[in-house]
Copies of this chain bind each other. A is one copy, B any other.
Amino acid sequence: MSLLQYEQFMENLRAKLHLRNPRVVNVVSELYGMTIFIFMGIGIVSQYILSYEKMNTWIQINIGWGFALALSVLICSKTSGGHLNPAVSFLFLTQKMLSFPDFILYTIVQTLGAFIGAGLSYFVYYDQVVHYAGDLRHIYGPKATAGLFCSFPAPHLSNFRCFVDQVAGTALLTTFISGIIDKRNGIPNYLHSLLFGITLMTIGTAYGMNLGYPINPARDLGPRIFASFIYGTEVFAYHGYYFWIPVVAPFFGAVLGSWLYHLIVGFQIQEAKRVIVLERPTELQQLE
């Protein structure tokens, strides 16, 4: 057998199983990508907390989440685009890449995927949670485990600062996303997802301390809803009903960051002059 047989077999299957409705494909793909992304992400945080910050230290939070995003975007970039973040989808709504109904659908399945991913992760690490916390399921204190799922600010942090933090972090994210995909910057498509991952990694080294950089409404809300089945509604009430901040603030940040980039830089890049650069002169020589 060979690569050729593989191609034939898979292409035949594809012909049979290919769905014709692009919207169905996109919505299912976005759900799939988000589930995998958050399944990995919650796994990373769990390994950090449940090993008493020994098997993972903060560097793995950065590297792990970064590459989890890169790989998850990679596998669904050719179908749904791999937004994996309602704030990013909203941004593309304002730039006519996504229609309003698609934006709503994307937001719903992104949150649903995050919910499922959190559940799967809890299932894989269930024995470790029991070993760590016994029967306790606390939001704060020495055996707290709600932080496996979503962000809970420290008491010394005001909700105003939380809002600022989420606007700033998401603005950084979309600034770089917009720069990376701007075709005038000349980054090949196959490097985009890797650079998105590096962007998230870098933000985590800079603005991870206040809230753990959710900067993604679905990433925070989906697992929080899952957590509410375990920890009760206190996951919403905590810290003056903080929960809405990482849900709402990223939308502002996403729009701010991307549009600032386009206004200041993206729209201002000069068209390349058509200089004739003979990079492979020998080939032309052959052809003459």
Q: Which residues of B lie under 8 Å from residue A104 when comparing CB positions?
A: none
How many copies, total? Answer: 4
Q: Top 10 closest A-B pairs, CB basis? A: A64-B205, A43-B206, A75-B179, A6-B97, A9-B96, A67-B202, A131-B156, A60-B205, A14-B267, A47-B209
A110 to nearest B CB, angstroms?
15
Residue of B nearest to A261 (CB): B75
What 0/1 readout, one digit per residue, does chain A (254-286) give for beta carbons within 8 Å of chain B?
000000111111111110001111000111111
A35 to nearest B CB, angstroms?
10
Q: Which residues of B lie under 8 Å from residue A128 when comparing CB positions?
A: 156-157, 209-210
Residue of B nearest to A14 (CB): B267
Is A114 in the interface zone, CB < 8 Å from B? no
Is A111 in the interface zone, CB < 8 Å from B? no
B202 touches A55 (CB 8 A): no
**A32's contact among B63, B265, B285, by CB below 8 Å, is which?**
B265
From A117-125, A214-222, A240-248, give the one contacting chain B: A117-125
**A67's contact among B56, B198, B263, B264, by CB below 8 Å, is which?**
B198
In whole angstroms, what is the CA distance A121 to B180 when docked?
A: 23
In whole angstroms, what is the CA distance A8 to B96 when docked?
A: 9
In whole angstroms, what is the CA distance A266 to B29 when docked?
A: 10
A268 to nearest B CB, angstroms?
4
